[in-house]
Amino acid sequence: MSLRLPDFSGLNILIAGDVMLDRYWQGATSRISPEAPVPVVRISELEDRAGGAGNVALNIAALGGQAQLLGITGNDEAADALQHCLENQPGVQCHFSRIDGHPTITKLRVLSRHQQLIRLDFEEAADDIDSHHLHQQFDAQLPTADIVILSDYAKGTLNQAATLIERARAADKKVVVDPKGLDFDRYRHATVVTPNMAEFEAVVGPCRSDDELCDKGLNLCDTLALDAVLITRSEKGMTLLQQREPPLHLPTHAREVYDVTGAGDTVVAVLAAALAADCNLNDAARLANHAAGIAVGKLGTATVSPVELHKALQPDIASNNGIISEDLLLDEIRHARQAGETIVMTNGCFDILHAGHIRYLEQARSHGDRLIVAVNADESVRRLKGSSRPINPLQQRMEVLAGLRSVDWVVPFSEDTPERLICKLLPDILIKGGDYRPEQIAGGHCVSANGGKVIVTDFVAGQSTSGIIEAVLKEGRQG
Catalytic positions, written as ranges: 265
Nearest to 451 by CA among 427, 420, 422: 427
Give the type of residue at 454.
V
Tell me how far apart the alpha carbons of residues 26 and 114 are, in angstroms, rounded to a whole number.
Answer: 8
Q: How is 336-349 classified by DSSP, letter by letter?
A: HHHTTPPEEEEEE-
- Spatial neighbors of 467 by CB under 8 A, at least 6 apart, are none
Q: Is residue 401 a contact partner of residue 323, using CB atoms and an 8 Å limit? A: no
Overall size of the chain counted in residues: 479
- The phi and psi torsions of 367 (rounded to 5 degrees) equal -85, -10
Nearest to 166 by CA among 140, 135, 128: 135
Tell me how far apart the alpha carbons of residues 311 and 317 are, in angstroms, rounded to a whole number.
Answer: 9
Residues 371-400 as b/e (b if ≥16 CB within 10 A, e otherwise) read bbbbbbbbebbeeebeeebbbbebeebbeb
Distances (CA, A) of 475 to 101, 242, 356, 470: 95, 65, 21, 9
Tell me how far apart the alpha carbons of residues 392 and 272 are, in angstroms, rounded to a whole number.
Answer: 46
Going by DSSP bridges, is the β-strand pair 115-122/106-112 parallel, antiparallel, or unpaired? Answer: antiparallel
CA angle (234 as vertex; 231, 238 as ends), nearest 5: 35
Tell me how far apart the alpha carbons of residues 145 and 356 are, in angstroms, rounded to a whole number.
Answer: 56
Q: How is 171-218 classified by DSSP, letter by letter?
A: TT--EEEE--SS-GGGGTT-SEE--BHHHHHHHH----SHHHHHHHHH
